[in-house]
Amino acid sequence: MTSAEQHERGLERLKELAGPNAEAVVEQLTALAPDLGRWIVDFVFGEVYSRPGLDLRTRQIVNVAALTALGTATPQLEVHLSGALNVGVTQEELIEIFLQLAVYAGFPASLNGIAALERVLAAREAATPPAAGV
């Protein structure tokens, strides 16, 4: 596979997750570091997310669990909560994940996850998806 093909595959995967304007969002986030933007498309989405071993839905469950546990990546958690909803994880399942994480990451992590989900749901209702992550 040429690197142009990998880039194309990454863009497809990224849009599947984050919607048609995802490429513009990545470019804006990495305006100071365009190579990081390229890595996100080519390596993160074109290579990691394009592996057949896990479907996008399960990848988003993994991301939400990891980012909630870390607690240091709120913009990215919001992006992946929205992405999770886009690829078929239900709101009810996201809440179950936060309840489960109370045991392993503590109740504050749970509450902060739920607050992030509330912001994401409000933004989706207002048709202004969160744009500060990837």
CA atoms within 13 A on the CB side of 134: 25
CA atoms within 13 A on the CB side of 14: 27
Q: Applying CB under 8 A, does 30 fall inside the site for a copy of itself?
A: yes
Interface pick for a copy of itself out of 50, 76, 87, 119 (rule CB under 8 A): 76
Could you give the C-alpha distances from 79 to 1, 19, 75, in angstroms and in order? 29, 11, 6
Residues 52/90, Cβ–Cβ less than 8 Å: no
Q: Applying CB under 8 A, does 96 fall inside the site for a copy of itself?
A: yes
Quick one: which segment of 12-20, 37-45, 122-130 binds a copy of itself (CB under 8 A)?
A: 37-45
Interface pick for a copy of itself out of 21, 24, 70, 122 (rule CB under 8 A): 70
How wide is the angle at C-alpha 55 spanned by C-alphas 14 and 116, nearest 5°? 60
Which residues of the chain form contacts with a copy of itself (CB under 8 A)?
3, 29-33, 35-36, 39-40, 43-44, 47-49, 51, 53-54, 58-59, 61-63, 65-73, 75-76, 91-93, 95-112, 114-115, 117-118, 121, 132-134
